[in-house]
Structure 1
Amino acid sequence: MSKLSGKVAVVTGGNSGIGLAAAKAFVAEGARVVIVGRRAPAVEAAVAELGAAAHGVVGDVGDLSTHERVASEIAARFGAIDIYMANAGMNNIEPSPAVTPASYDAQFATNTRAVFFGVTRALPLMREGASIILTGSIASAKVLENHAVYAGTKAAIGAFARNWALELKARRIRVNVLSPGPTDTPILEKLGVSEADRPAFEQGMASAIPLGRLAKADELARAALFLAGDDSRFITGMDLRVDGGIALN
């Protein structure tokens, strides 16, 4: 039997990168998946790629009304949630003196506030024994240049996970953090790494990673699948670093 047969999963930021890879892994193991993303064309393309088991909701996770719509649509279509992966995020790489209030607020709105209220709005729909996965970052534990605000947003969700793991124990809902290291996804372009600069960027990153390369999105998806299903049924409150060992340096 498939690992997630009959399960309902929600993946925010599920239209690209790690989120899309996780959604594919969940569908392949029998889950029905709701992906949430800001850009309608990207969400529609992802749903088409995922197939009949997928449903898309277009909305900005920083807007709390998006979480209300997600919950309402899931209640109407599926009735309950078994897996909630809060994956949507953003990162403005800039030195602290250059950070504007707008940049600060935008990162905390997407990476932290949206996670808190997305999860708490979904909780009434979560079945006993559900799994919550929060996409973190090695930046929460390892100092990366010009990542102070981003690191703060991700450190906060680690605190959420530890608190929720105890708050939700009576319902046997597990809460874990999945922290990627440098990963080969479209976010590299958003961070300003051009196609021409990619080889030098990847070589530079690889030299800092004990396993000698960037992660692939499907490798993070396999870790998400582990946290989503019964293979991790005795794990909660953990930060699983899938980083090739870079946090060791």
Structure 2
Amino acid sequence: MSRLSGKTAVVTGGGSGIGLGAAKRFVEEGAFVYLFGRRRAQLEDAVNQLGDNARAVSGSITDQADLDRLYETVKSERGSLDILFANAGTGAFARLGEITPEHYDQIFDVNVKGTVFTVQKALPLMSEGGSIILTGSSTGVMGTPAFSIYSATKAAIRNLARSWALDLKGTGIRVNVLSPGPITTELALEVLGDEGISAIGASTVLGRMGEPSETGAVAAFLASSDSSFMTGGEVFVDGGLAQV
């Protein structure tokens, strides 16, 4: 397929997991993709997998100068931006009574503040037909023990998309949320461990974990004109976990 032929995309958190799964699908469908993330070696490995239509830019979404450098690179090399997959995020467990200011600040700074400025700084490069995709989570609509702060950030992401869809009215730029459930990623393994991965996979209606290629397929749909009448929406890729 070539639904994204000639398009330029940025994927934050693009070195592994859901971000890399989306980047692979974007490249397969004809896009040129900038991978943005903190770990340079991991990004270079990802670019080697993707080939000539991918480029790595290292940095953090919590650093304003890093974001400026990312978009300056896109502007100088490609001129404009068609697709932004604001995917970078972090998470950690802490039960009520054990939540620290450091825990709160780290997760909100990355997942909410980082996403806000990732999107805002991209806007001058985007125009009619542009697609912004935010990574939400099934936890944004569920109660999850010891995961309240992360879950709250993903509920915030959902409202950002609704509000930004109104802010972007008349521009032709769309914004939607892709909300994964349990996906086999490096972050999921770090947070849940092997036993947790097995348990949560078994708890889905489909009885398994999802794969980054499956979230990547939905990201490509949201990036393409196939979703041209969608904005302010949310698509769950969660094996039914938060749906029934």
Superposition TM-score, scaled by structure 1 size: 0.95
* Structure 1, unaligned runs of 5 or more: none
1:208 aligns with 2:203: yes
What does 1:146-185 align with in structure 2 at a 5 Å threshold? 146-185=146-185
What is the number of residues matched between the two proteins? 244
1:226 aligns with 2:228: no
Runs of at least 4 residues off by over 6 Å:
none
Q: Deviations over 1:181-236 (max 9, x none)?
A: 0011112332151xxxx3x4344223321111111110000000010001101111
Q: Which amino acid aligns with 1:148?
A: S
Residue equivalent to 1:137: 137
- Compute the displacement of 1:164 (Å): 1.1
Residue equivalent to 1:20: 20
The worse-fitting range, judged by mean Cα deviation, of 203-212 and 150-159 is 203-212
Q: Deviations over 1:128-185 (max 9, x none)?
A: 1100000000111011111110011111111110111111121111100000000111
The worse-fitting range, judged by mean Cα deviation, of 226-235 and 97-106 is 97-106
Checking the alignment, whether the CA contact within 8 Å between 1:61 and 1:114 is kept in structure 2 is yes
Residue equivalent to 2:57: 57
1:192 and 1:160 map into 2 onto residues whose CA distance is 27
Q: Secondary structure at the match of 1:222?
A: helix
Residue equivalent to 2:71: 71
2:96 and 2:121 map into 1 onto residues whose CA distance is 32
Q: Deviations over 1:68-125 (max 9, x none)?
A: 1111111100010000000001001111221211111110111010110110000000
RMSD: 1.2
2:240 and 2:199 map into 1 onto residues whose CA distance is 15
1:247 and 1:188 map into 2 onto residues whose CA distance is 17
Structure 2 CA distance for partners of 1:141 and 1:57, relative to 1, 3 Å: same
1:76 and 1:160 map into 2 onto residues whose CA distance is 29
Q: Which amino acid aligns with 1:232?
A: S
1:14 and 1:231 map into 2 onto residues whose CA distance is 23
Q: Which amino acid aligns with 1:64?
A: Q
Checking the alignment, whether the CA contact within 8 Å between 2:188 and 2:197 is kept in structure 1 is no
Q: Secondary structure at the match of 1:117?
A: helix
1:66 and 1:158 map into 2 onto residues whose CA distance is 25
Q: Secondary structure at the match of 2:217?
A: helix
* Structure 2, unaligned runs of 5 or more: none
2:101 and 2:136 map into 1 onto residues whose CA distance is 22
Q: Secondary structure at the match of 2:52?
A: coil
The structure with the greater share of residues assigned to strand is 1
1:118 and 1:19 map into 2 onto residues whose CA distance is 15
1:101 and 1:139 map into 2 onto residues whose CA distance is 21
The worse-fitting range, judged by mean Cα deviation, of 93-102 and 75-84 is 93-102
What does 1:102-117 align with in structure 2 at a 5 Å threshold? 102-117=102-117
Residue equivalent to 1:244: 239
